[in-house]
Amino acid sequence: MPIDMVVVHGISLPAGMFGAGHIQPFFCGHLDKNAHSSFADIADLKVSAHLLIGREGLITQFVPFHLRAWHAGESIFQGRTNCNDFSIGIELEGTDDLPYETVQYDRLAEVINVLVRAYPNITRERIVGHSDIAPGRKTDPGQCFDWRYLDCLLTVCSA
**Per-residue pLDDT tens over the stretch 6-58:** 999 999 999 999 999 999 999 999 999 999 999 999 999 999 999 999 999 99
Give me the pLDDT at residue 158, please: 52
CATH code for the structural domain at 5-153? 3.40.80.10
Give the DSSP letter string of 46-84: ----SEEE-TT--EEE-S-TTS----S-S-EETTEE-GG
User: Chain-wide mean pLDDT for the chain?
Assistant: 96
Give me the pLDDT at residue 156, please: 74
| Dihedral sign, Cα of residue 63, residue 69, residue 72, residue 78 | positive
Point out the residues that are catalytic: 91
